[in-house]
Amino acid sequence: MDLPLIYHPDYVVPLPIGHRFPMAKFKNLYDCLLRDGVATIEQFHQPDRPPSPWIELIHDSDYVNAYCTGTLDAKAQRRIGLPWSPALVNRTCTAVGGTILTAQLALKTGLACNTAGGTHHAFPAHGSGFCIFNDLAIAARYLQQIGLVHKVLIVDLDVHQGDGTAFIFQNDESVFTFSMHCEINFPGTKQKSDLDVPLRAGMEDDEYLQTLDRYLPDLLTHVKPDLVLYDAGIDPHLDDRLGKLNLTDTGLYRREMQVLTTCLSLGCPVACVIGGGYSEDMNALVYRHSLLHRAASNVYRQYRL
């Protein structure tokens, strides 16, 4: 069996012209993986839209209902930063289903990658920073509820702290949250993860990877997770509009290889989501996201032999 990949055409919905969220990247990533021979069409799995009770394992039912019915107040909508539409509701829920499916397949095969996901700024009762429902948290809790996992480790390497995820699991020993992020970046008010590693602005490849190596192997040994949920945000890149770190393409690829190899070598299955990435150059942005899937394909072949 080849590396499982997850995509749905509903990952892309129309946004107003000039909107700064790069919605087209999800379909472009899917096309890139096929065009470059990183994946074949047979590797892709389509998620189902999860029912509201799954989402309400994490999110307040009033918030879920208000968002899904378009009755969320204007201030809360502005905090999210995406204009409401029925299509966006479907897209949001389908992407959550994608991360759940990614996690289920990772438990079966050892490794799986979504082509979306990483909405780590979503809190139980509100969204923020382009994040509406927290797919990482929902996937972790759903898999726990159905008995597939007990202990989950969330490795969040997006350049922004996973504040929503940290808040959700702040008093929950069954989910360990690890966020390595730029210390002076959004969100202005940080939450307390189980392990936060704030990074100085301008950090480059080698220092970043050495820092990660100081924490991740020991963390895996200590937590002993049944599953790792990996948020592989590419916004630490030096050309990212919202980043403030200075990683190169090579640095991002080395990071993905480091994370995946470390986890799989210790017997920890990994479900990957793509996280944030913001650039005017769509082709460059999509290529950077594809580095996760390129690295995962190499690591998967290595550990399946």
Active site residue 150: no
Q: Write out the two tokens for 31.
A: 């096309």
Strands (DSSP E) found in the chain: 5-6, 44-45, 111-114, 152-156, 175-182, 195-199, 227-231, 270-273
Q: Label residue 92 exposed, middle or buried (CB < 10 Å: 0-12, 13-18, 19+).
A: buried
Asked if residue 47 has a cis previous peptide bond (ω within 30° of 0), the answer is no
3 state SS for 14-29: CCCCCCCCCCCHHHHH
Choosing from 121, 181, 289, 293, the catalytic residue is 121
Instruction: Tell me the C-alpha distance between 107 and 26, whole Å.
Output: 24
Residues in the chain: 305
Question: 3-state class of 131 per DSSP?
Answer: strand
φ/ψ of 44, rounded to 5, equals: -90, 135
d(CA 262, CA 35): 29
Active site members: 121
